[in-house]
Amino acid sequence: MNGRPLLNRRLDGLGTTIFAEMSALAAATGAINLGQGFPDTDGPEEVREAAVRALRDGRGNQYPPGPGVPELRTAVAEHQARRYGLSFDPDTEVLVTAGATEAIAATLLALLEPGDEVIAFEPYYDSYAACIAMAGATRVPLTLRAPDFRPDLDALRDAVTPRTRLLLLNSPHNPTGMVLNPGELAAIAELAVERDLLVVTDEVYEHLVFEGEHTPLISLPGMRERTVAISSAGKTFSFTGWKVGWVTGAAPLVAAVRTAKQYLTFVSSGPFQYAVAEALRLPDGFFTGFREDLRAKRDLLAGGLADAGLTVFRPQGTYFITTDIAALGEKDGLAFCRSLPERCGVVAVPNAVFYDDPEAGRTQVRFAFCKREEILREAAARLSGLGRG
Ligand SMILES: Cc1ncc(COP(=O)(O)O)c(C=O)c1O
């Protein structure tokens, strides 16, 4: 093998995801896992039953159609219309994917050439860096800074160069909980039009906004023909293992993404696609109830973390709370997270791994609150000893 590293150089340094490391640590120590963002309760019973029915009725047990089953594509289009007043043709403007993760990968592989630049908020969701690298493109970070993590729009404008191909945006934003406001959305849309940029929006937390509301960037003037909007069922319906996601956008963009997607998984999650079609049609009360439930959990954990002596940056959306541990006399989030299970039986994730410039997030640590109330109370009780050394 000529001494050449096995892993190709594009993936060099990407290693194991922090979620795998921290979830393994939780399993090994029996600690409460507030690291990885998955709920500890499954979603609505009727949605689970819909999946069982599809399995039994033989719907989706064989390869579903490449773009996704028509029932789900129609349900996605109806959801976008009902919720945001957006109109998409289910046949040409909706594509079902293996979670948002595949949608992100297929979109970036489809739209990028080696040498292109992609501007993305940092801290990043970790698959962005990997997919940009796999496409041979270069990531250009726009750093979101505590305490409110608002994007610096002047810095964004300055970051655009003739090589910039696309803006990769995530709102509600993981891990900071920042939700883009109407002024920011308008400024970003204006810049995208002026500099003729493509935009990819990761909206997997669209139903988890506690302050303000979620507005898809694709709904703004000039955005329809240049935006690929991505979402998925995992977070909204608490079935993260089903991996059903989707892309919506203008037909030429969706066709490009479909070309890449067909050589990644081709298709996935057959029976679950039918169940998610039913989930998307749940009454508004489901979505409001889910949001209010998570809001209460956010407040519960935020209170516990503050009582434990951490600085809490209250999220406007998502199911994560970013904190700062400097007030505890701690200097390094990664070391802190590696020792936390032993010290008090809780697992969290260091935000520094989501930055190109780890200094920007050195003392930030993320906790997930998509867990049962009693678990959050227990975690808060365990963490309360921290300040006492
Ligand atoms: C911002 C963001 N995008 C995408 C995903 C992945 O979504 P899916 O599970 O649908 O692939 C996640 C999951 O944590 C996420 O936080």
Q: What tens digit of pLDDT does each residue of 272-315 get?
A: 999 999 999 999 999 999 999 999 999 999 999 999 999 999 99
Identify the pLDDT of residue 17.
79
Residue 363: pLDDT band by 50, 70, 90 thresholds? very high
User: In this predicted model, what pLDDT tens digit does every residue of 164-220 receive, in sequence order?
Assistant: 999 999 999 999 999 999 999 999 999 999 999 999 999 999 999 999 999 999 999
Residue 11 has pLDDT above 70, yes or no: yes
Identify the pLDDT of residue 314.
97
In order of start, what are the domains of the chain with their CATH numbers?
A: 9-43+285-388 (3.90.1150.10), 45-282 (3.40.640.10)
Q: What is the mean pLDDT of residues 58-79?
A: 98
Q: What is the mean pLDDT of residues 210-233?
A: 97
- 123 within ligand 1 shell (Cβ under 6 A): no
- 125 within ligand 1 shell (Cβ under 6 A): yes
Name the percent of the chain lying above pLDDT 70.
99
Residue 361 and residue 355 in contact, taking contact as beta carbons nearer than 8 Å? yes
Q: What is the mean pLDDT of residues 142-147?
A: 96
Burial 271-291 (b: 16+ CB within 10 A, else e): bbbbbbbbbbebeeebbeebb
Residue with tokens 């023909």: 225
- 202 within ligand 1 shell (Cβ under 6 A): yes
Identify the pLDDT of residue 84.
98
Q: How far is the CA of 100 from the centre of ligand 1 (A)?
A: 6
77 vs 12 pLDDT, higher one: 77
Residue 388: pLDDT band by 50, 70, 90 thresholds? low
Name the residue with the closest Cα to ligand 1, atom 13: 37
CB atoms within 10 A of CB 303: 13
Q: How far is the CA of 52 from the centre of ligand 1 (A)?
A: 24
- 170 within ligand 1 shell (Cβ under 6 A): yes
Identify the pLDDT of residue 358.
84
Identify the pLDDT of residue 385.
85
Residue 389 has pLDDT above 70, yes or no: no
Q: How far is the CA of 235 from the centre of ligand 1 (A)?
A: 8
- 128 within ligand 1 shell (Cβ under 6 A): no
Q: How far is the CA of 329 from the centre of ligand 1 (A)?
A: 32
Q: What is the mean pLDDT of residues 350-378?
A: 95
Q: In angstroms, rounded to a whole number, what is the distance separating the alpha carbons of residues 195 and 193?
A: 6
Identify the pLDDT of residue 15.
77
- For the chain, the average pLDDT equals 96
Name the residue with the closest Cα to ligand 1, atom 4: 100
Residues ≥6 apart with Cβ < 8 Å to 233: 239, 242, 244, 245, 272, 276, 279, 280
Q: Which residues pair with 330 in a beta bridge?
A: none
Residue 319 has pLDDT above 80, yes or no: yes
Residue 341: pLDDT band by 50, 70, 90 thresholds? very high
Q: What is the mean pLDDT of residues 106-129?
A: 96
Residues ≥6 apart with Cβ < 8 Å to 377: 300, 304
Name the residue with the closest Cα to ligand 1, atom 16: 174
Which atom of ligand 1 has the smallest separation from the CA of 104? 4
Q: In angstroms, rounded to a whole number, what is the distance separating the alpha carbons of residues 220 and 201?
A: 13
